Chain A
Amino acid sequence: MRPFTYTRAKDVAAAVTDIRANSEARFIAGGTNLLDLMKIDVMKPRHLVDITRLALDTIEETDEGGLRLGALVTNADTAYHEQVEKRYPLLSHAILAGATAQLRNKATDAGNLLQRTRCYYFYDTDTACNKREPGTGCSAISGYNRNHAILGHSEHCIATHPSDMAVGLAALDARILVTGPQGERMLPISDLHRLPGNTPEKDTNLGENEIITAIELPPQGFAQHFTYLKNRDRASYAFALVSVAAGLEIEGGVIREARIALGGVAHKPWRRPEAEAMLRGKKASRENFQPVADAYVQGAKGFEHNTFKIELARRSIVRALMTAAKIEE
């Protein structure tokens, strides 16, 4: 770990001021990813702004009838929150599919969204990685790429975003509240994370000195028909190879609305609204789900060790939709 200076921010404005005043500064809250990366010299902030004392640790109703999750609410408190469990069980399930009880007790909701990739090369400073050190090259493309992207990757980076929670939030069309030097703004979760392109060092579209203050959940929670399906290499405590968050609004056997987000396949949670639209007005059935699954992975390209994800994603989407629709075969 490199040496750093440390301050405790007392409110959001102070945090933003503090991060602007220091070069190579980072916010720290749960620290469950940042400290790991600092110990292995992947991240080297010179200044840490401790934001754990900011008043962003509550879950509240919004005017439109949704929920606002404070940025500092822990993953555990979110997943087990009565209103989240009742109205957004998809989110609870997604959060509980990730990490461990210990990590969820400490990791915060905003921190979860900002965790870095689990690419083996990103994690090893003795190898080339464009995300860690732009311009050094991508070792994964020609190396070991089991946990890597099949969609939206670039010749510079094929890393995936590892969060399960983000996949759940993507399916829920959550919104991210941000405060920066220019004031507050709100962006849809689909705009928070980005594809690597030729700047893979940037994981998100947040401005340099911006801080996430809350996550807003719109009223539609798909509490009747949902599932979070996670495929991984062991039964718990492993990152997703392919995960699917699915939410359906079904009336009289007919789908009114469908949301599908994939995890483990791209640099961000993967949505295809045009494919989701294919289900609108259709009967919930395997026959209708299959073309959507095909559309979701259209254009997917795998590498030496992860091509299996394409077919796995297809099958997982169908399974997730079947489960969400409560169709037994």
Chain B
Amino acid sequence: MEKNTTASVSKEKISLTINGTEQQLEVEVWTTLLDLLREHLQLTGTKKGCDQGQCGACTILLDGNRINSCLSLAVMHDGSEITTIEGLAQGDELHPVQQAFIDHDAFQCGYCTPGQICSTIGLIKEGKAKTVDDIRDLMSGNICRCGAYSNIVKVVQEALERSQQA
């Protein structure tokens, strides 16, 4: 079969700061942030659970805000700062939210967990959750099929208390 030799999609140069390190990247314009992280940068901690913005497994912090990386074209975020699950621990010391997920057994299979953790950190920063019901609603963008919700809520409550003391 004769190949159409022109590339099917164009590439753009962008700069992203990922987990504190600035990177110059050349990305195809149709590549999502999620696929960029997972397939090109081997940062597979960010998960693909639906690729449609319907599960929250791909949640990352984009300029500090939690978003679904599956519904974001990498090319549109030139100059942004991205924090993924791989960027939360300080060396061997886990981020307190990571440690709390372990202590409260707030996961089972672990697949939604990075998204839940990033979402928790985003929620704390937003500062809009006042009650347990607020937490439940504001964490509803992260589906946990194993059903660890009540433990996740405990983690978030604890993190909220910690942030208020700080």
A interface residues with partner B (beta carbon < 8 Å): 1, 3-6, 28, 30-32, 35-36, 39-40, 48, 50, 52, 76, 80, 99-103, 105-106, 235-237
Contacts and interface: CB of A to CB of B under 8 A. Distances in A.
A103 B138 contact: no
The B interface is mostly helix, strand or loop, or mixed, namely mixed
A101 B8 contact: no
Nearest to B12: A6
Interface in B75-123: 75-76, 119, 122-123
A102 B119 contact: yes
Contact of A50 (B62, B71, B76, B140): B76
B53 A3 contact: no
Contacts of A3: 8-9, 30
Contact of A6 (B8, B10, B51): B10
Interface of B: 8-10, 12, 29-30, 32, 51-53, 56, 59, 62, 65-68, 70-73, 75-76, 119, 122-123, 126, 128, 136-138, 140-143
Given A4-B9, A36-B71, A106-B67, A101 B141 contact: yes
Contacts of A1: 30
Nearest to A77: B65
Contacts of A6: 10, 12, 29, 73, 75
Contacts of A99: 141
Contact of A4 (B30, B67, B76): B30
B151 to A, nearest CB: 18
- Which residue of A1, A35, A40 has the most chain B CB atoms within 10 A of its CB atom? A35
B76 A52 contact: yes
Contacts of B51: 39
Question: Which 9 A/B pairs are nearest by Cβ-Cβ distance?
Answer: A100-B141, A236-B140, A3-B9, A6-B29, A3-B8, A105-B65, A32-B71, A106-B67, A102-B141
Contacts of B62: 106
A32 B126 contact: no
28 contacts: A1-B30, A3-B9, A3-B30, A5-B10, A6-B12, A32-B68, A35-B32, A35-B70, A39-B52, A76-B65, A76-B126, A99-B141, A100-B142, A101-B122, A101-B138, A102-B53, A102-B56, A102-B59, A102-B66, A102-B68, A102-B122, A103-B71, A105-B66, A105-B122, A235-B137, A235-B140, A237-B140, A237-B141
Contacts of B56: 100, 102
A133 to B, nearest CB: 21
B141 A28 contact: no
Contacts of A36: 52-53, 71
Contacts of B138: 101
A10 to B, nearest CB: 13
A5 B30 CA distance: 9
A92 B14 CA distance: 35
A6 B77 CA distance: 13
Contacts of A40: 52
B71 A106 contact: yes
A76 B72 CA distance: 17
B10 A103 contact: no
Given A105-B66, A105-B122, 10 more contacts: A4-B29, A6-B73, A35-B72, A39-B51, A102-B56, A102-B66, A103-B71, A236-B136, A236-B140, A237-B141
B30 A28 contact: no
A28 B76 contact: yes
Contact of A31 (B8, B59, B76): B76
A1 B71 CA distance: 12
Contacts of B66: 101-102, 105
B9 A103 contact: no
Q: Which has the most chain B C-beta neighbours within 10 Å: A40, A50, A100, A237?
A: A100
A326 to B, nearest CB: 21
A236 to B, nearest CB: 4
A35 B75 CA distance: 13
A109 to B, nearest CB: 16
B10 A102 contact: no
Nearest to B56: A102
A156 to B, nearest CB: 26
Interface centre among B8, B71, B72, B143 (most CB of A within 10 A): B71
A32 B72 CA distance: 7
